[in-house]
Structure 1
């Protein structure tokens, strides 16, 4: 896919994509979840995420080995209510389950689901899983502390029924002690088209291209508000790239989002699932080294919308 052909229009950023959970104190609904002030520190969030993982694994048979995925578990909040900068962070802990025969991968996911249900945790979707699909995934959340988790298996050899399993837990956004919650949304007047030789431009297009490859569906013609733009606000300068796929049937949309999630996990991104009005949770991911944020979500038209936001002062890689 030559994504540079999708570039020229001024984008409205990821503001049009997904509204998500946050740490506000007014209790209003945001993106389907009740926003609330979350009081914890980073170590408490890590410990709770590890506890949720262990609750899924402790009773598994055969017993898998946990192989850590990704880098540092604490990062900037990637599901912000107002899309502006603030001091909130969140924890994402993910493990690959290794050391068991490939045919057991799907069984491990079922066991994780059953263990979490036994703890009183809830599905964050209908609970229906397409076990025959390429990436059967269980999405759940804890109550009342609102950690979100998933158990996923990816099929490597369909004929033999072999695959890999992984578990991930993401904390709600929270303010570390001593931090403030002040935030400022980007001013649309600050939007401008990036220069052709801008490394951040190439980086954003490179990520979009790899997401396109992971989705494995056709792209739609550029829509109003889509394309490349540069935005400057109090958090700095970033390049945004937004685009859409062709409209898809609901079952294929779910599969495409699962493939995007699998790509982000395998590439070491931190991944969070965000509820949407359309019912299918969006995938929001953060690159641990660049600070790039990618959002992949179903729209009311049936298309899957993609938004990539990368800071201008990130690495100079231009792999498109």
Structure 2
């Protein structure tokens, strides 16, 4: 599999969930970049594989339909023979989420709801698909080289936002951070769509129970703070979280690793207006 094939298959799985929905929603892309380093391996060794991760918010329908849209996504995937990661969603909850995978090609997907208005109980729905890891080709390497993280002068406002988000996530996890390693710290990402400040760090190794508890704490914080949260595969017993801040469009990824540490990354877009005025 290559990037083009993985993207095409991920889009197909999303449309399998969405195209038959009633009322019919519109797809609004979440996150700046679908292709990135594979997060299924994070043991400190070299890994040049890539992974496609696509997520869309379902818009243009009443927030009260969010739960129904998630159920419809579940039904469409079940009809195609796709499997639950563990069990079906708890439909007694106001905002259930579904985690499934395809067979035999093993794409992971989710359909989730988040809170829009706590007073009325309305929510929003999103669907996401993450591909298996695949080898980086020569063309993939060229793309990665042109969009790689690198040290440069960063926009101060975006950097402050990214660091502030990292600090709040650290407080929510309530575990110690590990000494800085290669790839940690603040850097800048550029692609065809814009410029992004990126901040990455790790926690100290945790037990499985500590990991589950920490991930539950940070998910609760993110949802209460208005982030749109979804689950993606991480190659461990606990799925990773990817969340998007609806106000400043920051994206955070919190991923359990094979070493027991949690890898945290926050990516914040640089505002063209603020860059022009700085």
TM-score of the alignment, normalized to the shorter chain, above 0.5: yes
Assess, with a 3 A threshold, how the Cα gap between structure 1 residues 123 and 205 changes in structure 2: closer, same or farther: farther
User: Any unmatched runs of 5+ in structure 2?
Assistant: 141-153, 184-197, 245-250, 271-278
Which of 168, 191, 196 is the equivalent residue of 1:213? 168
**Which whole-Å CA distance do the structure 2 matches of 1:204 and 1:243 have between them?**
21
Give the distance between the partners of 1:307 and 1:57, measured in 2 at CA.
31
Give the direction of change, closer, same or farther, for the CA distance of 1:122–1:218 in structure 2 (3 Å limit).
closer
Aligned to 2:194: none
In structure 2, C-alpha distance between the alignment counterparts of 1:88 and 1:261, rounded to whole Å: 31
CA distance in 2, matches of 1:94, 1:80: 21
Q: Distance in 1 between matches of 2:66 and 2:72?
A: 10
Aligned partner of 1:156 in structure 2 is 116
**CA deviation vs aligned residue, 1:253-276 (integer Å, no higher than 9, x gap):** 546436548989759xx9733253
Q: 2:254 aligns with which of 295, 303, 306?
A: 295
How many positions carry a matched residue from both structures?
236
Contact 2:162 2:199 in 1 (8 A): no
Q: TM-score, normalised by structure 1?
A: 0.57
TM-superposed CA distance for 1:139, in Å, is: 0.9
Distance 2:110 2:66 in 1: 14
Matched, 1:98 2:59: yes
Query: Any runs of at least 4 consecutive aligned residues in structure 1 with deviations exceeding 6 A, and if so which?
Result: 203-206, 247-252, 261-265
Q: 1:75 to 1:61 in 2, by over 3 A?
A: same
Q: Name the CA shift for 1:179/1:97 in 2 (closer, same or farther; >3 Å).
A: closer
Measure, in 2, the Cα distance between the counterparts of 1:239 and 1:68. 22
Q: Which runs of 5+ in 1 are unaligned?
A: 1-39, 181-198, 233-237, 287-291, 316-320
The TM-score normalised by the length of structure 2 is: 0.64
- Asked whether 1:257 is paired with 2:219, we answer yes
More relative contact order, 1 or 2 (CA 8 Å, 6+ apart): 1
8 Å contact 1:257–1:296 — kept in the other structure? no
Q: Secondary structure at the match of 1:47?
A: helix
| Partner residue of 2:85 out of 105, 121, 124 | 124
Q: Which has the larger radius of gyration?
A: 1
Deviation at 1:66, TM superposition (A): 0.9
